[in-house]
Amino acid sequence: MNEQAIIDGNEAAADVAYRVSELCSIYPITPSSTMAELADEWSAHRRPNIFGQVPTVIEMQSEGGAAGAMHGALQGGALSTTFTASQGLLLMIPNMYRIAGELTSTVFHVAARSLATQGLSIFGDHQDVMAVRQTGVCLLSSASVQEAHDMAAISHSATLRTRLPIVHFFDGFRTSHELNTMVRLSDDELRRIIPRELVLEHRSRALSPANPFIRGTAQNPDTYFQSRETSNLYYQWAPKVIANEMEKFAELTGRRYGLVEYHGAPDADRAVVVMGSGIEAILPVVERMNAEGARVGVLQIRLYRPFPTEAFLEALPPSVTRLAVLDRTKEPGASGEPLFLDVTSVLGEAVAGGAREKLPVTIGGRYGLSSKEFTPAMARAVFDELAAESPRPRFTVGIHDDVTNLSLDYDPALDFEDPETLRAVFYGLGSDGTVGANKNTIKILGSSADTFAQGYFVYDSKKSGSRTVSHLRFGPNPIRAPYLVSQAGFIGCHHWSILERVDILEFARPGTVLLLNSPHGPEETWHQLPVPMQRRIVELGIRVYVIDAGKVARAAGLGSRTNTILQTCFFAISGVLPREQAIERIKAAITKTYARKSAEVVRKNHDAVDSALAELHEMPVPIDDWSDRGLIPPVPEGAPKFVRTVTAEMLRGRGDDLPVSALPVDGTYPSGTTKYEKRNISEIVAEWDAEECIQCGNCAFVCPHSVLRAKSYPADAIGDAPEGFLSAPLNAAGLPQTRYTLQVYVEDCTGCGLCVEACPVKPVDQPSRRAINLTPLLDREKEKRAVDYFESIPVNDRSRVDFGTVRGTQFLEPLFEFSGACSGCGETPYLKLLSQLFGDRATIANATGCSSIYGGNLPTTPWAKNAMGRGPAWSNSLFEDNAEFGLGMRLAADLHEDLARTRLDELRGAIGDDTLVDQILAAPQRLGSELTEQMDRVNRLKARLEGLAGPSVEDLRSVADHLVRRSVWIVGGDGWAYDIGSSGVDHVLASGRNVNILVLDTEVYSNTGGQASKSTPLGAVAKFASGGKLTNKKDLALQAMSYGSVYVARVAMGADPQQTLKAFREAEAYDGPSLIIAYSHCIAHGYDIRKGLEQQYRAVNSGHWPLMRYNPVIRDAGGNPFLLDSPRPRLTLQQYQSAELRYKVLKAADPVEADRLVALAQDQVDRKWAEYEELANRGAHQFAADPRSRA
């Protein structure tokens, strides 16, 4: 009896891959990470493969490394596999050629994803797999969760039979993250699919000193070519062998697959060719059109390489005269996309060779890039296009292309779904558990043998206050609908703030049932709804139910966690199960989820489920009683045009409707757009106590979201201040007539509370308060007026600000603001500081990761501009190359600075102001005031150039900005700096060039969900280190110091902000490579990150994170360049670690091992400290000299 399960595509593929492999060499990359994580967890749980062995799972430093390790293991005879996507797959290409060239059996499981081009995208299409089609690997495609499971098995058997490596791929997110009902293959079945003799044959080809041979030779013109032709037969045989494996699979399981499958009318005149999940959107269209008398069909390509020519020609009915080939990829400049080209060449040859009578009119179209929806309505448009008198030879579908007019029109109202399927949509916030509860709901319903279920979850791009939309389907028939729900029968809105901003009835139909979590009660709720929503409710006859789930949750002791309450309401209203049975199953699901964690959580959720329905009410809908509320506009009226017309549409959730012409051609977007998106994600916000505040600037320094801004101004400048604008006399000697304001940007505040923790003031009469506190936001409008007024006060003159103190920096304008990072993020305060100190002359190279996502993910981005229009210029290249990318920026800046200086000197006479020229050329540009003066001089120079002409003048004009010292920053996380970009970081540090590398060290891959890096400390639990990390954290600082020419600092803002500031300024001032390693607390550490600063303090004071600086300039001057900035450890390591889940988890799971690792880690800390103390007490001559120095 096979096990029916509801899992996602990643698990479906990994479940097979793991069980038939001996080695998985892995590296995290979205959307494939889950496959690797599962394999790692299974291995940690000692789950055996079908051969009775527990597979080894090893995390590598990059996908290139994973492929290399895989290649080696294959040469060693082990059954090896890997999981990847997108850029990761690209990094495997060199090895793929090798592995294929050596006829080596292996499978790459790929959750196919877009590539970084004009922008990065984590979502699904076939660009990555199409980029490896030339390497010699086979490409086998799955279209659904079940197929991802089955085709994984077929891939592993076929690779052993054919000796050709196989890329088994399925659509990223759409299949990899879709939950669907499927049947699992048993171990016995897998053993029959992968016969032992094949494994032995594979092993017999391994390198062995007992039977030595050499493989991987270098070949010469005499034989390379012929050798390349030796494997031709393997490729010729492969399609037949694979088809044969599919046939055997069908005999075993009853599930039959073909290399190419045709569905539709046997005498079709029109047909579509497609690969991947898109087939499931086309099938219902084919069925309905044929039922209505048309003759259409669809050809699904499963095997793409080697291209199954014979099977293709066999499958395509000879009657087809019009054929559309759909490619989920783009190859700019090609005569067509890859699948289209393959099809046309096959058909052309077939006709030319007489195998086929007529060449159908064949057109090629692109669809579904970056998980763009591909629906039956769009498929219908393709068939319609084929019926046109002269179909467009090239087209796109799913977008509106108003530039090259390639896009097909389609009717989004067309509905091809099974009427017996219940469709439901739920709106939630990331932190509220809606998605988790919906996953449980799917499992509850899908666990009945007669019910099929599907779930797909859409998240927005912010990491704090993010919105989730869950798309669920249930029904008596298998659900094959790889697209979002529309015309939903049930809509749940789990947060009131969502319906104020977004049209949640977008997916409604007549008679939809709507469940609102409303704090307003059944009587008042109607009057609080926006008018457009009220009208839709009346028009469509929507039935509305209301519950104050927050109230029920609080009563049950669940805080703000409302998910199980709303889940209960869904079951009660929708009637998908009898009530009693539903409640019983919800409770069982809760028990299953939490029993291992906490009995209290189980009990409280059970109580909440029991009390939910008493608070559920149907809301009366008046016919003609409209409120005066509209939807809250996403951006203010005064925003720039681009923001109003483009950004705002994305914010409304209507980015899909933006035409091609609306978007930049080269991925260039305006800076500083987060300020227009007032997200209001927190009900509690910071509140400044003007009377108690000592104006130290600590709170503004640590604020991760730049919502605390300080200004000082003449006392008489605020005569017209509105009520609610707070002000205090400036706390500084000699400026009696000056006042000070610390303004809270309440609409951007996330309520993280780091400011409160950083505040040193405890008012004597209120010991539990600080000079800044969190408080409910009661009068938003009043606060907005205060912010507007504050904005009207000029920013403090940079030349008069003391850059050297934390107190001084609060007066520097942040040019990194309101990012979508996690509330309380430990990384962003460093970036904000960077932007305050150097932002008006900085270029930033940002490695892919958290900082590139909150730093550069659309719709709105946080890197901003000042009133003069200056600000950080930011770009992201890749994950692995960021140090090199930044170095390139430096080299360009140096070249253009040289050019500018040369031209300036040449044009001295024409400019006619020797003093200005001399001053520009000789300006020291170290202090803030000197830089302000230099900017002023360069502006004067530009004005002078206005009146001049000639090639030299144009040259100078184009590079004059480089006369202001350019500050080049290379920013990224530890995954980049310690692992994938390690060699680049090393090389750039060794280059001697003036770049500043900032490592935001969270000691884990934060962005992809907490995988271990070489920065992860000994004993910490992380993904890929489930049993606790077993190696010591790499000391990047000592590595960098060994060059002698690198400025190095290790900082932790929460422990010593002044040292952080000093390090940033010294690093930037140092004329050579600098490295700052910044402790960044992170949600992946597992504690309430409101305590992040305290944890930083503990990290430093336990010796885990010794603060230090290494300044080669001091060495040149004859001093000890190594400065140990933190005191001797006064806490044990355990006192630091005990607050964090990453350590506690192991203590709970394996206390003996946890104790052993803690002892080892403590020992390591003690040793490290002794080493550092020794360094701090050395003489200058005991350190390597900076070879570039003339001192």
Partner 1 sequence: MIDLTTNYLGLALRNPVVASAGPLSQTVAGVKSLADGGVGAVVLYSLFEEQLRREAEATAILEDMYEESHAEAISYFPTVPRAAHDASATYLRLVEQAAAAIDVPLIASLNGASLGGWTQTARRLADAGAAAIELNIYFVPGDLTMTGHAVEERHLAILAAVKGAVNIPVAVKLSPYFSSVGNMALRLDAAGADGLVLFNRFLQPDIDLDRLTVESGVTLSSPVDARLARTWISVLHGHLEASIAATTGVDTADDVIKYILAGADVVMTTSSLIRRGPAYAQVLVEGLGQWLAAKGLSLSKARGLLAVPAEAAADAYEREGYVSALEKAKSTYGSLR
Catalytic residues: 30, 63, 113, 1007
Q: Are 697 and 710 in contact (CB under 8 A)?
A: yes
Which two tokens mark 962?
């480089």
Which two tokens mark 888?
């390139």
Q: Closest by alpha carbon to 560, among 431, 470, 438? A: 431
Minimum CB separation of residue 42 from partner 1 in Å reads: 10
Which position among 205, 870, 1144, 1153 is part of the footprint of partner 1 (CB under 8 A)?
A: 1144
Is 752 marked as binding a ligand? yes
Asked if 216 is part of the footprint of partner 1 (rule: CB under 8 A), the reply reads no
Per DSSP, the residues of 193-257 read: HS-HHHHHHHHHTS--TTS----S----TTTHHHHHHTTHHHHHHHHHHHHHHHHHHHHHHS---
Which position among 81, 836, 1007, 1045 is part of the footprint of partner 1 (CB under 8 A)?
A: 1007
Asked if 468 is part of the footprint of partner 1 (rule: CB under 8 A), the reply reads yes
Q: Supply angle C-alpha 1178, 1179, 1185, rounded to 5.
A: 110
Alpha helices in 365-422 (DSSP H): 376-387
Which position among 208, 598, 737, 775 is part of the footprint of partner 1 (CB under 8 A)?
A: 598
Alpha helices in 559-715 (DSSP H): 563-574, 579-594, 599-612, 641-642, 648-651, 698-702
Which position among 541, 559, 578, 794 is part of the footprint of partner 1 (CB under 8 A)?
A: 559
Q: What share of the chain is helix, strand, coil (3-state, %, to 5)?
A: 40, 15, 40
Minimum CB separation of residue 907 from partner 1 in Å reads: 51
Minimum CB separation of residue 408 from partner 1 in Å reads: 28
How many C-beta neighbours within 10 Å does residue 804 have? 14
Asked if 835 is part of the footprint of partner 1 (rule: CB under 8 A), the reply reads no
Is 699 marked as binding a ligand? yes
Asked if 704 is part of the footprint of partner 1 (rule: CB under 8 A), the reply reads no
Considering only residues 1018 through 1057, tell me which ones interact with partner 1, judged by CB under 8 A: 1021-1027
CA-CA distance, 76 to 585, in Å (whole number)? Answer: 49
Is 63 marked as binding a ligand? yes
Which position among 1151, 1167, 1170, 1178 is part of the footprint of partner 1 (CB under 8 A)?
A: 1151
Minimum CB separation of residue 324 from partner 1 in Å reads: 31
Minimum CB separation of residue 466 from partner 1 in Å reads: 5
Which two tokens mark 1087?
């504690």
Asked if 463 is part of the footprint of partner 1 (rule: CB under 8 A), the reply reads yes
3-state secondary structure of 837: helix
Which position among 455, 492, 1010, 1017 is part of the footprint of partner 1 (CB under 8 A)?
A: 1010
Asked if 37 is part of the footprint of partner 1 (rule: CB under 8 A), the reply reads yes
Asked if 1153 is part of the footprint of partner 1 (rule: CB under 8 A), the reply reads no
Number of residues that bind partner 1 (CB under 8 A): 68
C-alpha distance from residue 792 to each of 135, 292, 558, 722, 787 (Å): 60, 66, 43, 12, 9
> Exposed e or buried b for every residue in 726-735, given b needs 16+ CB within 10 A?
bbbebeeeee
Asked if 764 is part of the footprint of partner 1 (rule: CB under 8 A), the reply reads yes
Asked if 724 is part of the footprint of partner 1 (rule: CB under 8 A), the reply reads no
Which position among 72, 317, 393, 430 is part of the footprint of partner 1 (CB under 8 A)?
A: 430
Minimum CB separation of residue 10 from partner 1 in Å reads: 10
Which two tokens mark 247?
């046939």
Is 1003 marked as binding a ligand? yes
CA-CA distance, 997 to 941, in Å (whole number)? Answer: 32
Rounded to 5 degrees, φ, ψ at 199 are -65, -40
Minimum CB separation of residue 463 from partner 1 in Å reads: 6
Q: Are 4 and 179 in contact (CB under 8 A)?
A: no
Considering only residues 953 through 982, tell me which ones interact with partner 1, judged by CB under 8 A: none
Is 427 marked as binding a ligand? no
Rg of the chain on CA atoms, in Å: 32
Question: How deeply is 398 buried, as exposed, middle or buried, from its count of CB atoms within 10 A (0-12, 13-18, 19+)?
Answer: buried
Alpha helices in 353-460 (DSSP H): 376-387, 434-446
In the beta sheet, which residues pair with residue 1001? 1079
Is 846 marked as binding a ligand? no
Which position among 31, 239, 376, 751 is part of the footprint of partner 1 (CB under 8 A)?
A: 31
Is 759 marked as binding a ligand? yes
Minimum CB separation of residue 616 from partner 1 in Å reads: 24
Asked if 235 is part of the footprint of partner 1 (rule: CB under 8 A), the reply reads no
Asked if 1142 is part of the footprint of partner 1 (rule: CB under 8 A), the reply reads yes
Which position among 119, 640, 655, 1086 is part of the footprint of partner 1 (CB under 8 A)?
A: 1086
Asked if 34 is part of the footprint of partner 1 (rule: CB under 8 A), the reply reads yes
Which position among 358, 535, 762, 1156 is part of the footprint of partner 1 (CB under 8 A)?
A: 762
Asked if 466 is part of the footprint of partner 1 (rule: CB under 8 A), the reply reads yes
Residue 883, CA atoms < 13 Å, CB-side half-sphere: 27
Which position among 4, 41, 1038, 1116 is part of the footprint of partner 1 (CB under 8 A)?
A: 41
- Point out which span in 230-238, 361-369, 661-669, 1082-1090 binds partner 1 (CB under 8 A): 1082-1090
Amino acid making up residue 395 = F
C-alpha distance from residue 944 to each of 80, 134, 897, 948, 961 (Å): 67, 56, 19, 7, 14
Minimum CB separation of residue 47 from partner 1 in Å reads: 10
Binding-site annotation, residues for thiamine diphosphate: 63, 827, 850, 973-976, 1002-1007
Interacting residue ranges for partner 1, rule: CB under 8 A: 30-31, 33-34, 37, 40-41, 44-46, 122, 173, 177, 429-431, 433-436, 439, 457-459, 461, 463, 466, 468, 559, 561, 594-601, 762, 764, 767, 822, 853, 1006-1010, 1021-1027, 1083-1084, 1086-1088, 1141-1142, 1144-1146, 1148-1149, 1151
Binding-site annotation, residues for pyruvate: 30, 113
